[in-house]
Chain A
Amino acid sequence: NAGVTQTPKFQVLKTGQSMTLQCAQDMNHEYMSWYRQDPGMGLRLIHYSVGAGITDQGEVPNGYNVSRSTTEDFPLRLLSAAPSQTSVYFCASSYLRQGAWGNTEAFFGQGTRLTVV
């Protein structure tokens, strides 16, 4: 049981390049989400998904695309990288239970440290 796997762990991009951050989970979780973490700020939600074929925007979606073709995978695409996207990115997943949310533990990946030069 691997939990949440993110790749790559580190990446350097040039401005304007595109890339995909991979996220996979093997726990059959419905809910998956992407966050970015910047110094002095809390984690901020980029995009999320409540199941295969369903995605929605979070707090800071501009410059990022997502898709959810399977329950297991939730890749994050940077279309044209900008220095402002230099950050640490985390993927997380959990079960999705209406009502008693307190039963849904969140699992995080190890993070991807992205630098855009």
Chain B
Amino acid sequence: KNEVEQSPQNLTAQEGEFITINCSYSVGISALHWLQQHPGGGIVSLFMLSSGKKKHGRLIATINIQEKHSSLHITASHPRDSAVYICAPPEGSGGSNYKLTFGKGTLLTVNP
């Protein structure tokens, strides 16, 4: 099973700050998801990346496959970014690589 470690578990920031959330995993994989969950809400896929960097608005995700590490960055954070961010690599790189495993999430609170 792919063991997933996210840090920090909780993060409080002031509006406008630059945010970084880290994710490390134990089994080499070919791609990884970052998910967002607002309190009491559903889960939305933010990024799916297999190498390098992807950018979507103020969100940037990077991955280093060799080091088994990914980061999610939020530039110019805003209170509406307050949510739980979840790192989700697949279980492995073999035939069952469609099955996701999940970190416990990082609860981000952005204060105005």
Listed in ascending order, the chain A residues whose CB lies under 8 Å from chain B are 31, 33, 35, 40-45, 48, 50, 58, 90, 92, 94, 96-98, 100-111
Enumerate chain A residues within 8 angstroms of B30, measured Cβ to Cβ. 100-102
A41 and B49 CA atoms in complex are apart in Å by 24
A50 and B30 CA atoms in complex are apart in Å by 20
A73 and B103 CA atoms in complex are apart in Å by 27
B61 in contact (CB, < 8 A): no
Tally the A-B contacts, defined by beta carbons under 8 Å. Answer: 69
B19 in contact (CB, < 8 A): no
Given contacts A42-B4, A102-B50, A107-B45, 13 further A-B contacts (CB under 8 A): A31-B98, A41-B104, A42-B103, A42-B105, A50-B98, A101-B29, A102-B30, A102-B48, A103-B31, A106-B33, A106-B35, A106-B48, A110-B42
A102 touches B104 (CB 8 A): no
B50 touches A111 (CB 8 A): no
Enumerate chain B residues within 8 angstroms of A102, measured Cβ to Cβ. 30-31, 48-50
